Structure 1
Amino acid sequence: HSADYFDFAGCADKEAAVKLLQEAFDNGLIEKVTYDAKRALHLLTPLGIKLEALHDDVLLQAYLLDGERGNYDLLELGCSYLNSSLMADRENALAQAADITLQLCDQLNPRMSEMQVDKVYRDIELPIVPVLYDIERAGFLVDTKVLAELSVVMDAEITRLTQAIYQLAGREFNVGSPAQLGDIFEELNFEVSKRTTTGKISTSRDVLDELAEKYELPRLIIEHRELAKLKGTYVDAFPSLVNAQTGRIHTTLNQTIAATGRLSSTDPNLQNIPIRTEMGRRIRRAFIPADGCVLLSADYSQIELRLLAHVTQDPVMLESFKHNEDIHERTARAVFKARTPEELKEKRRVAKIVNFGIAYVIGPFGLAQRTGLSRHEAKKVIEDYYATYKGVKKFMDELPQQARDAGDIVRSIYGRMRRLPDLSNRNGQLRARAEREAVNMPMQGSASDIVKLAMLHVDAALKREKLHAKMILQVHDELVFEVPRDEVERTGTVVKEAMEQAIKIDVPLLVEIGLGDNWMSAKP
């Protein structure tokens, strides 16, 4: 290979330089290899340059070959695969980086075929790059007045909680200081099961949860911490992240962080706004559509449980989903022996926690924490669950060994690969953790594949139908769109159909559609 450096920044005639680049990048007959194609789109598109004939992206290739690697820096990849290092001077280093990119592609392509990840690469990860770019460029409109009002409300609530905490503690102290809080717990003679290495009472969340069952003070501390975090991380931080030109927040969607294939969101993280609490949900009220538009939220219903039924082939679960039964109600009847409407209502809530917990390989301790059951009761519930859904039990028992036999590798239904070397670790704790991750991968990894396929299907369908809706965010199983008011009905139909038909599995995929004048009210 040979490589040349072109100093675009130092070029006197910018228009001529852009024209030169256009001739190469716009040419569909010249195949392009990139490192981070999405970033290339952010650089080229504002200049009016198209990235045609994108053939490969070495960042995505390296990620699909080893999602646990963490560091996908080009220099690091060059050292690993090519034993190369960059030259010191900028001009040669940049030219060499382009050369390394091409050489890496030659090295990685055969490995992609060998490890059987070329299908998920060609069908999902590479084609979704421009869709993610469009989402980032579109951004999400923010009403900063709503955030300012919410900040005042939160301030008042934090002050109220602080005063209530002082009253229960018997004196004033720094509520945000774990050390001072530990001292208060000592003074009040709280009984705890966990202390720090220095012998002080731990004030970690699990200890506070345990204490909150007996005492009012820790419950208020939890509320205070959650509210302070909401205010600092989101409500007070978001206004400064709004783009002055667009009035929108433009998050970054990362393809190469989560080993399961899930997209993550940074700068800022819009996927992690807590919605369990009323205050958390109210933050979503600040996210609004443009004038003349509404927000449309499309959410896969119970996608991981449907995938659990598909991958385990459990007959009871398959039948339940095929007949559109309420899976949580079914579990409440079978596991908790709920019969009357009152029992069903009460037990369905716990059954829901159990159903989703099993998909994440929850143990008796975790289930007890989430449901309020004793550890003994939680153990019995899990046993009864597996007695009801025998196919799930068989799958969970057999998969870790199957993954070991495959070289400590587990896959999604689309072939996405996750390496879990700790499956063969002698350390029992590390091995058990890897086994839990192995069992969860077919559900979470497959859900990631399906949502990305859905994004591709929806994007193509909206263009085909000449609709003007914009996909503006993905939050795991939910897609958010900004839709012109006169196209809402057609868009809803197109989106629902495209998502439900993204892939065929042994149970129906169900998508719920919600509409609203803000993100909170659009939730289905």
Structure 2
Amino acid sequence: MNKQAYKLMHEGTLAFADMESNGIRVDTAYCKKQMKDIDKKIQHLENKLDKTRELKKWHKVYGHEFNLDSNDQLKDILFMHLGIEPPQRTKKGNPSVDAASLHLIDSEITKPLIQWRQLKKMNNTYLKNIIGQSVNGRLHPFFNLNKVVTYRSSSDSPNFQNMPIRDPYMGKIIRQAFIPSDGGWIGGLDYAGIELSIAGCNSRDPVLIDNFTTIHKTMAAMLYDLELDQVTKDVRYCGKNNFVFPELYGSWYKPCAFTLLASIKEMKLKRVDGVGIRKHLKQQGLGDTEDFIQHVKEVEEWFWNTYHVHKKWQKKWLADYAKKGYIEMLTGFQCGGQLSTNKLLNYANQGPAFHCLLWSIVRMNKWLKKYKMKSMVIGQIHDDMVMDINGKEKDDVLHKAKEIMCEEIKKDWKWIITPLEIEAEFSEVNWFEKKEIKI
């Protein structure tokens, strides 16, 4: 890495130390109550599962209890004994039984099993760790800068960056546990579309630069054959994470199509007017899986015809790596060694995207300390700076954050040629109930 990159890591480590020391306020009494309620639901689901034809078949064949945590036993009963065709397979060609695949299987066991696994994860991975690792009502997770090869951050003890949000039920239960300090606001300042912004800085694709704030919604509409005004936030999320980013990072239409279909059921996707996306696709003649896959293939062709300048940059980026054996990001960090195509394309955007946030956290933390503010940076999730803001300081802090994140950074890093935007979402109640605040 160059000197500027080293300085960012050094200052970032010091800022993260302050962030960890600040801690995040949590409601442990709420967590304990939720664990008890979830335990009752788990027991109810276990009783329900035991009566399904799949588990009755298992008991008849093997004569012992079915392990609900065992993917091998699940594959055995679904695909071997019941003869169900696996909707997806792993890279090694084995039947897949992850959540996305289970949502595509029409079986008596799949829905309650997905719910059971979800509830077990909520208790064992999230609530239990929040209670066990909080001190005097505050959680102090570690935020690391030395564990990820892309020079992004990671978190542990517990992993704050893994707190659920997209699953409506899990997100609500877990994020309600995080609360602001007395008289404060908890929430985050999120770089909007930062990875696509960095992609535009890398390739200088004029079409991508013009469209980077609207591309996710546009692609979601095309993929699910919707009018733009019928695209909800969740549908846009699927266009973003199940197609745009996978395509930019080396995936192709077929796996994208399967995840897009699985998300319909998993996230209960609907149009703005409330009509389910599954029903909508049938109305559009795309209800059959093969028809939908072909449709996604055609969308993919349009995508790369439109963003052909970026495609050309990708080819050059890969060729340069093949020649040199390493890549150098816009922020001065180098990644070398044996890297797959997916990783090479991913690192080019995700690394600098995080570095923009890290640069901003360093500046924000210094400013808060300089003026002895009560507001604190308490965490970060890749492109989101999580803060506990004192109510009396709210306006000043938010305006300074926007100045740092959207203006000052571009003066320091001249290579940023795209507009930078942030979205602020905060709540006086808890982390889940945050609402957008205009700055």
**Aligned match of 2:393 in 482, 487, 498?**
487
2:286 — aligned with what? Answer: none
| 2:6 aligned with 1:121 | yes
Relative distance call for 1:518 and 1:170 in structure 2 (3 A) is same
- Deviation of 1:384 after TM superposition, in Å, equals 1.4
Per the alignment, residue 295 of structure 2 pairs with 377
Give 1:202 deviation, angstroms. Answer: 5.4
Partner Cα separation in structure 1 for residue 253 and residue 322 of structure 2: 25
Task: Give the residue type in structure 1 aligned to 2:67.
Answer: N
Partner of 1:510: 421
**1:358 is matched with which residue: 241, 247, 255?**
247
Quick one: distance in 2 between partners of 1:203 and 1:159? 26
Distance (whole Å) between structure 2 residues aligned to residue 262 and residue 420 of structure 1: 17
Q: Deviations over 1:160-197 (max 9, x none)?
A: 3323322323537332234543453244333337899x
CA distance in 2, matches of 1:344, 1:296: 22
Shift of 1:289: 1.8
Paired with 2:155 and 2:105, the residues of 1 have a C-alpha distance of 34
Give the partner amino acid of 2:200: A
Q: Give, as a single letter, the amino acid of the residue that structure 2 aligns with 1:415.
A: G
1:402 aligns with 2:320: yes
| 1:276 correspondence with 2:169 | no
2:109 and 2:221 map into 1 onto residues whose CA distance is 37
Counterparts of residues 36-47 of structure 1 (less than 5 Å): none
Decide whether aligned partners of structure 1 residues 227 and 395 sit closer, same or farther in structure 2, where only a CA change above 3 A counts. farther
- Offset at residue 510 of structure 1 (A): 0.9
Question: Does residue 392 of structure 1 match 2:310?
Answer: yes
Closer, same or farther in 2 for the Cα pair 1:336/1:370, shift >3 Å? closer
Q: Distance in 1 between matches of 2:423 and 2:216?
A: 17
Trace 1:210-221 onto structure 2 (pairs within 5 A). Answer: 212-221=104-113
User: Which residue in the other structure is 2:70 paired with?
Assistant: 177
- Confirm or deny: 8 A CA contact 1:288 1:518 kept in the other structure: yes
Query: Which residue of the partner structure matches residue 186 of structure 2?
Result: 295
CA distance in 2, matches of 1:156, 1:305: 44
Q: Do the aligned residues in 1 keep the contact of 2:28 with 2:137 (CA within 8 Å)?
A: no
Report the equivalent of 2:20: 136
Aligned to 1:472: 378
| Deviation of the 1:440 alpha carbon | 1.3
2:133 to 241, 245, 252: 241
| Aligned equivalents of 2:87, 2:226: Cα separation in 1 | 34
Which amino acid counterpart does residue 132 of structure 1 have in structure 2? F
| Counterpart secondary structure, 1:519 | coil
Contact 1:461 1:498 in 2 (8 A): no
Q: Which amino acid aligns with 1:400?
A: L
Residue 158 (str. 1) matches residue 42 (str. 2): yes
What's the secondary structure of 2:110's corresponding residue? helix
For the residues of structure 2 that align with 1:485 and 1:346, how far apart are their CA atoms? 31
| Matches of 2:430 and 2:220, distance apart in 1 | 34
Within-5 A mapping of 1:37-436: 116-122=1-7, 124-168=8-52, 169=54, 171=56, 173-185=66-78, 186-192=80-86, 204-205=97-98, 209=101, 212-243=104-135, 246-281=136-171, 282-321=173-212, 326-331=214-219, 339=227, 341-342=229-230, 348=236, 351-352=239-240, 353-372=242-261, 374-405=292-323, 407-422=324-339, 434-436=340-342
1:501 aligns with 2:394: no
SS of residue matched to 2:344: helix
Which amino acid is the alignment partner of residue 476 of structure 1? H
Matched residue type, 1:140: I
Distance in 2, Cα, partners of 1:268 & 1:167:
36
1:256 shift after superposition: 0.7
Aligned equivalents of 2:185 and 2:231: distance in 1?
A: 39
How far residue 317 of structure 1 moved from its aligned partner, in angstroms, is: 1.8
- C-alpha change, 1:269 and 1:332, in structure 2 (3 Å) is closer
DSSP-derived class of the 2:185 partner:
strand
SS of residue in 1 equivalent to 2:251? coil
Contact 2:250 2:341 in 1 (8 A): no
CA change 1:387–1:350 in 2 (3 A) is farther
- Asked whether the 8 Å contact 1:298–1:479 carries over to 2, the reply is yes
Deviation at 1:491, TM superposition (A): 1.2
Report the alpha carbon displacement of residue 294 of structure 1 after superposing the two structures with TM: 1.9
Q: Which runs of 5 or more residues in structure 1 are unaligned?
A: 1-115, 423-433
CA distance, structure 1, for counterparts of residue 398 and residue 85 of structure 2: 54
Q: Which amino acid aligns with 1:462?
A: L
- Aligned twin of 1:519: 431
1:335 and 1:179 mapped to 2: Cα distance? 34
Deviations 1:183-230 (A, max 9, x none): 53244333337899xx9x956417x71673333422332332222122
Q: 1:121 to 1:523 in 2, by over 3 A?
A: farther
Residue 455 in structure 1 maps to residue 348 in structure 2: no
Change beyond 3 A, Cα 1:349–1:195: closer
Aligned amino acid, residue 85 of structure 2: E
Matches of 1:265 and 1:118, distance apart in 2: 25
Partner SS state of residue 452, structure 1: helix
C-alpha contact 1:410 1:418 (8 A) present in aligned 2: yes
SS at structure 2 position matched to 1:126: helix
Q: Is the 8 A contact 1:158 1:228 kept in 2?
A: yes
Shift of 1:150: 1.7
Partner deviation per Cα, 1:274-296 (whole Å, 9 max, x = no partner): 22212321211111122222213
Equivalenced residue count is 387
Identity value in percent:
27
Q: CA RMSD in A?
A: 2.9
Separation of aligned partners in 2, 1:263 and 1:344: 30
Once the two structures are superposed, residues 416-452 of structure 1 have per-residue CA deviations (whole angstroms, 9 ceiling, x without a partner) of 1111334xxxxxxxxxxx1211111121011121111
- Please give the TM-score of this superposition, normalised by the length of structure 1: 0.67
